[in-house]
Amino acid sequence: MHGFAAVVLDFDGLILDTESSALHVWSEVYREHGHELDLGLWQRGVGTHGGFDAWRHLEGLTGGALDRAALGPAIHERHLQMCKAQPLLPGVRRLLEDAAALGLRAAVASSSSRGWVEGWLGRHGIRSLLASVCGRDDVVSVKPAPDLYLKAAERLGVVPAVCVAFEDSPNGVRAARAAGMACVAVPNGVTRGFTFPETDLTVESLAELRLPELLEILGRPAQRGVTSSRRAVRPEANPDLEGAAPGGPSASGGGADGVAPAGPSAPVEGRP
Beta strand ranges found along 179-244 (DSSP E):
182-185, 201-202, 226-227
User: 194 with 220: CB under 8 angstroms?
Assistant: no
Active site residue 240: no
Q: Which residues are CB-neighbours of 54 under 8 A, at least 6 positions away? A: 26, 29, 37, 42, 259, 260, 266, 269
H helix or E strand, kind and range, residue 211: helix 211-218
- Which one is catalytic: 10, 53, 147, 168? 10
Distances (CA, A) of 125 to 92, 106, 139, 229: 12, 15, 26, 32
- Which one is catalytic: 12, 17, 168, 200? 12
Task: Look at residues 4, 20, 43 and name the one whose alpha carbon lies nearest to residue 184.
Answer: 4
User: 256 with 270: CB under 8 angstroms?
Assistant: yes
Active site residue 257: no
Q: Which residues are CB-neighbours of 84 under 8 A, at least 6 positions away? A: none
The type of residue at 77 is: E
DSSP string, 171-192: HHHHHHHHHT-EEEE---TTTT
SS3 content of the chain, % helix, strand, coil (to 5): 45, 10, 45
> Which residues are the active-site residues?
10, 12
